Each structure stands twice: as C-alpha cells, then as structure tokens.
Amino acid sequence: MSASDPPLTGIWKLISWQVVDRDSRAHNVFGAHPAGYLILMPGGRMMALMTGQNRQPGLGDAERAALHRSMLAYSGRYRVEGSDFITTIEVSWNEEWNGTEQRRHFRVEGDRLYIETEPGPSIVFPGKTDYRRLVWEREK
C-alpha cells in the first residue's frame, strides 16, 4: 500500500457479519464465525465474498437454495468520500444489486476495518428494515 492509497485499500478477512434490526438487536445470521474476504484494489476495483458458518455441500434444489441464502458476493468499482466508500455494483449474487450504488461507512483502527451499511430493506428478514455491521482484519 502506498502513501496515496486510501487506508482501506488491501485484502481483508471477515471476522464478523451482523444484521442489526430496528430495535438495535444484532443477529449473527451467518453464525459467530462467518468466512469471507474483501479485496479493495488501489485503482478502485473491489470484490467481496462472505459465507455463513457450517455450510453443507449439496446438489439438490433445497441444498443449493440453502447455499445461496448463506452467502453474499459482489464486485464493482468503488470510490471513497470522506468516511464512506461507495461501490457501483457490476456483478452480484443478487441480480437486484447490479447497477446500484452501495454506500458503506467505514473506519480503520490498526489492522481492523469496521463497516456499517445504510439502513435499508433487509436482505435476510423480508419486509423489515435493518443494517449490517461487519468487522474485517487486514491480511498480512
């Protein structure tokens, strides 16, 4: 990372992924130990993949649906605006996200990256509003 790169540029390993509901209750929807990586490149390209804990392989429709429900993946171009980074999503596990902008508030403390999303329609609790809170650790 060069001195001119934003402090969030790099490769980050997922530590926690929580959904916070309107009553401020945090839910570990992907388990206490989800897996994932966030790659933020110096030219503004990013890629994120997150999966739930204890996923089971399977080829049947029900098993594949469960695998889909226990993951997130998207990629696109990002830019930094103050303490936010905004991604224009080009490809995603969720076709509704393609072509949208996703705003994330962030702060870097040492080797940790803390991210919160804007409140919006829940991707895990249909008909509800929530936001996501993520913690990442810089890969060394």
* Domains of the chain, CATH where assigned: 10-138 (2.40.128.490)
Distance CA 16, CA 9 (A): 19
Give tens-digit pLDDT for 3-62. Answer: 445 688 999 999 999 999 888 889 998 999 999 999 999 999 999 999 999 998 988 999
pLDDT score of 6: 60
Q: Which of 102-111, 118-127, 128-137 has the lowest mean pLDDT?
A: 118-127
Kindly tell me the burial class for residue 19, based on how many C-beta atoms sit within 10 Å of its own C-beta (0-12, 13-18, 19 or more): buried
Give percent above pLDDT 70 in the chain. 96
Structure pTM? 0.88
